[in-house]
Structure 1
């Protein structure tokens, strides 16, 4: 006797409320389904159904067996689906949301490689510093750079950390001097990010663990880090920027780190996606690719 087949037959009988309906769903005859349930009762040595000519009812033993039977079948089906999904080729449209600066400067570097590796995918990338609702707006996956994620039903996987750095051009520092402490920033033109929780405040931790705060002012604020980077490169002032934005400028010497002994709180990079019972191949492929890409530090 095929134990799993008889368990499936029993479950369908219970859930459809009819041997005939269960037989139709299973593409079997009424006789075969009835025989499977009877064989199951004989094997278990317990009556699972109280039968009459027109209806049946679960016995106490039948109710307990049904609950366990349903759980076992679900687990078997989940395992089979997981393997099938893993083997399936990602296809269809993948809608991705990312912050403007990250999508433009960072994601754009490796997204083409991901698409080449998954030729059956069509990618729709939307770069937006607004906090979108993935489910309501129909996104499959999102990348977030943040200090802390809000509570939600989304699955979040951490990929990397991006240090926040104070930067300025050598020309600006030559003209206005180099700050030695966070308090010195009050005498400088500071370029701020509009969407920060408190755009006019910087909070630092010194090497000895002490915490320092500075209230800053400047003649430019923007809702994208790209504009702040461009302004800093032009010698306009001092900007707080993610390392993923300015690491190449620092390497070339076009920008210089300011107050290197005082650290700003880093931002964590996450990939987020809706919590589904079965992760689709296209989302799984994107998440796996991103995890592999950021398995080594990118912005030293």
Structure 2
């Protein structure tokens, strides 16, 4: 019985479809079907109830999945311990990145990691839409704090961004410039929808105040939020690195500069109920080290801060 076949079985369980699992893994459906049949023959049990497109676990299949999940994790960890830090990293990583200001630096760190590990292949998915990491076979993700379920993920806080209020001179000339907290709800705000579906309309103001804001435009992209603010559609709440260039050239005005800004947090996350591969472990070490060096030498934006000590995972 091959460990790889058990891992393929897990991917089919998690996608719920042979076709979808084949697409995500980039293998022919016939190959996946044949290897699943081989596994069932070796176990002498039926693992799935097969329907036209969907596949549901049998009682035996559910039992096998639950029992082999921790076994795969233990096996992967054992391989990591035996191989040592000098062992070559192989396989494939699927990495999801929320479109944050540090996207460029994270991408550069990924490319550096690939150069250090030429046998590894990587797929980068940049999206502000919610994605089930298990179902979509995503190994690692860089996500905002409100974008994932903490009960299902292991999360490491890696970056903080300070978020301010901005508006264009044209909007402020038309609607007036708010100078007091009570005035903000009276203005048209550009609302933001998080990947988990929640609209960010209860906004933090300073350390101990929450304001309810309204607006006629809601977006789920920081670049669209910036464009809307530049075109005078309303007041936007954005990370400073996104807006700094436009504040400096006068196209945007920062509001409430004397109020301590909200701290938005970005996390490096991975599913808690899936074994973490050697490639993922090594990548986590690499990207944390790369971001730390980037911030320390000033190459990254000075508004970002990494949190916590960088500790090897293997």
Matched residue SS, 2:159: strand
Structure 2 residues not aligned, in runs of 5+: 1-73, 304-314
Structure 2 residue aligned with 1:157: 156
Deviation of residue 91 (structure 1)?
2.3
Q: How does 1:32-43 map to 2 (within 5 A)?
A: none
Q: How does 1:110-189 map to 2 (within 5 A)?
A: 110-147=109-146, 150-189=149-188
- Which stretch shifts more, 187-196 or 226-235? 187-196
Q: Against the structure 1 CA distance between its residues 118 and 165, is the aligned structure 2 distance closer, same or farther, given a 3 Å change threshold?
A: farther
RMSD, aligned CA = 3.3
Q: Is 1:219 matched with 2:216?
A: yes
Q: Against the structure 1 CA distance between its residues 276 and 220, is the aligned structure 2 distance closer, same or farther, given a 3 Å change threshold?
A: closer
In 1: Cα distance, 2:252 partner to 2:107 partner: 22
- Alignment partner of 2:282 out of 274, 280, 285: 285
TM-score between both structures, scaled by the size of structure 1: 0.61
Structure 2 residue aligned with 1:72: none
Structure 2 residue aligned with 1:204: 205
Matched residue SS, 1:205: coil
Deviation of residue 107 (structure 1)?
3.7
In 2: Cα distance, 1:114 partner to 1:78 partner: 20
Deviation of residue 234 (structure 1)?
2.4
Deviation of residue 277 (structure 1)?
9.3
In 2: Cα distance, 1:153 partner to 1:145 partner: 15
In 2: Cα distance, 1:260 partner to 1:124 partner: 40
Q: Residues 224-257 of structure 1: CA distance to partner in whole angstroms, max 9, x if unpaired?
A: 1221011112232211113453344445554332
CA contact (8 A) 1:96 1:126 kept: yes
In 1: Cα distance, 2:105 partner to 2:232 partner: 24
Q: How does 1:12-161 map to 2 (within 5 A)?
A: 81-82=80-81, 84-101=83-100, 107-108=106-107, 110-147=109-146, 150-161=149-160
Task: Work out which of the two has the higher radius of gyration on C-alpha atoms and give 1 or 2.
Answer: 1
Matched residue SS, 1:266: strand
CA contact (8 A) 2:77 2:278 kept: no
- Length, aligned pairs only: 221
In 1: Cα distance, 2:249 partner to 2:114 partner: 30
- Which stretch shifts more, 105-114 or 170-179? 105-114
Q: Against the structure 1 CA distance between its residues 278 and 192, is the aligned structure 2 distance closer, same or farther, given a 3 Å change threshold?
A: closer
Q: Against the structure 1 CA distance between its residues 80 and 252, is the aligned structure 2 distance closer, same or farther, given a 3 Å change threshold?
A: same
Q: Is 1:246 matched with 2:226?
A: no
Q: Is 1:235 matched with 2:232?
A: yes
Matched residue SS, 2:156: strand
Structure 2 residue aligned with 1:58: none
Deviation of residue 258 (structure 1)?
1.3
Structure 1 residues not aligned, in runs of 5+: 1-74
In 2: Cα distance, 1:107 partner to 1:278 partner: 23
Q: Against the structure 1 CA distance between its residues 287 and 244, is the aligned structure 2 distance closer, same or farther, given a 3 Å change threshold?
A: farther
Q: Residues 155-205 of structure 1: CA distance to partner in whole angstroms, max 9, x if unpaired?
A: 222211112221223443344332112221234221110237343332212
Q: Against the structure 1 CA distance between its residues 188 and 80, is the aligned structure 2 distance closer, same or farther, given a 3 Å change threshold?
A: closer
In 2: Cα distance, 1:156 partner to 1:139 partner: 14
TM-score between both structures, scaled by the size of structure 2: 0.59
Deviation of residue 131 (structure 1)?
3.2
- Which stretch shifts more, 179-188 or 83-92? 83-92
